[in-house]
Amino acid sequence: MDLKNAVALITGGSSGIGRAAAQVLTQAGARVAITGRDPERLAEAARSLGVVGIQADVANEADVLRTFREVAQKLGDLDVLINNAGIGVRKELIDMDRASFDAVFATNVTGVMLMSREAAKLFKERKRGNLINISSTASLRGAPNGTAYYASKFALRGMTECWRAELRKYNVRVFLINPSEVITGFARRAGFPQADNPSKLQSEDIAHMIKAVLEMNSRGFTPELSVFATNPVD
Ligand SMILES: NC(=O)c1ccc[n+]([C@@H]2O[C@H](COP(=O)([O-])OP(=O)(O)OC[C@H]3O[C@@H](n4cnc5c(N)ncnc54)[C@H](OP(=O)(O)O)[C@@H]3O)[C@@H](O)[C@H]2O)c1
């Protein structure tokens, strides 16, 4: 697809991978809206990127419906939805509390379903569209302390396969991108230990792949893509 003047909505665009994707797509000529919960972080990102900022929680259905109304009013017909917003929690099974588990699923699974449902209605009607789910290599195998986060990304991978099967006949491309460890604020917020060094992936590496899969001629698509650091050193 040609990104020039394409309308893209990125959830969780105020930080990390979503913010880098907003920058790369804007530079390619797309008209971009980003969402996030924290109003100050969102306003700062929207201002510095020159994109539309919509304060919204993907886990809140009223916020989701308002997000799509605002995108339609401010930017027009949606071409690309990037479900990027995600949170994690690092806890062993024996320490897992219901609230932490539910919060991860509310954002990473229910929130993605709500956003995608609204986008799919538009895409089906117009017989075109692009849906990118930012999952993780955590959707490919389990690990200690991963109960909530890894399971949420397995669920996201499963939903992605269902949506691809439902929407392909309407020319809708449904992509799954699985980044391995990326240096953002995510690990600190989720309680996963992270050593920062130049051998590890940066947000712009994932943004580069997002742009690449979108830019392929719309007659084809890459269903699933995993991105690893070549030789990460801890
Ligand atoms: N960093 C990694 O190592 C890594 C690896 C693989 C996959 N991923 C995935 O990549 C995606 C982005 O992660 P990141 O590393 O860029 O994280 P990040 O820097 O923490 O950014 C997360 C973004 O999502 C927003 N967000 C969180 N919950 C939200 C909600 N309920 N509704 C709306 N916005 C919400 C955050 O803003 P607010 O908090 O203000 O809402 C922020 O803008 C996530 O899905 C994550 O699982 C990350």
Q: With respect to residue 171, please indicate whether it lies within any of the assigned structural domains.
A: yes
Q: 38 in ligand 1 pocket by Cβ < 6 Å?
A: yes
- State which ligand 1 atom lies nearest to the alpha carbon of 18: 16
Residue with tokens 């389990």: 142
Residue in 33, 70, 85, 149 annotated catalytic: 149
Provide the residue range defining the domain that includes 66.
Answer: 7-227
DSSP 8-state symbol, 78: -
Query: How many Å apart are CA 65 and CA 70, to the nearest integer?
Result: 9
Domains: count for the chain: 1
Q: With respect to residue 202, please indicate whether it lies within any of the assigned structural domains.
A: yes
Tell me the CA–centroid distance for residue 84 and ligand 1, in Å: 6
Per-residue pLDDT of 19-71, as tens digits, reads 999 999 999 999 999 999 999 999 999 999 999 999 999 999 999 999 999 99
Active site residue 149: yes
- Please state whether the predicted TM-score (pTM) of the whole model is above 0.85: yes
Q: With respect to residue 143, please indicate whether it lies within any of the assigned structural domains.
A: yes
Q: With respect to residue 2, please indicate whether it lies within any of the assigned structural domains.
A: no
Q: With respect to residue 138, please indicate whether it lies within any of the assigned structural domains.
A: yes
**Among protein residues, the one whose CA lies closest to atom 37 of ligand 1:** 36
Domain of residue 193, CATH code? 3.40.50.720
Q: 40 in ligand 1 pocket by Cβ < 6 Å?
A: no
Percent of the chain residues topping a pLDDT of 90: 99
| Residue 94 pLDDT | 98
Q: With respect to residue 232, please indicate whether it lies within any of the assigned structural domains.
A: no
Q: With respect to residue 1, please indicate whether it lies within any of the assigned structural domains.
A: no
Neighbouring C-alpha atoms within 13 Å toward the C-beta of 203: 17
Q: With respect to residue 151, please indicate whether it lies within any of the assigned structural domains.
A: yes
Tell me the CA–centroid distance for residue 120 and ligand 1, in Å: 22
Closest CA to 42 of 77, 4, 85: 85
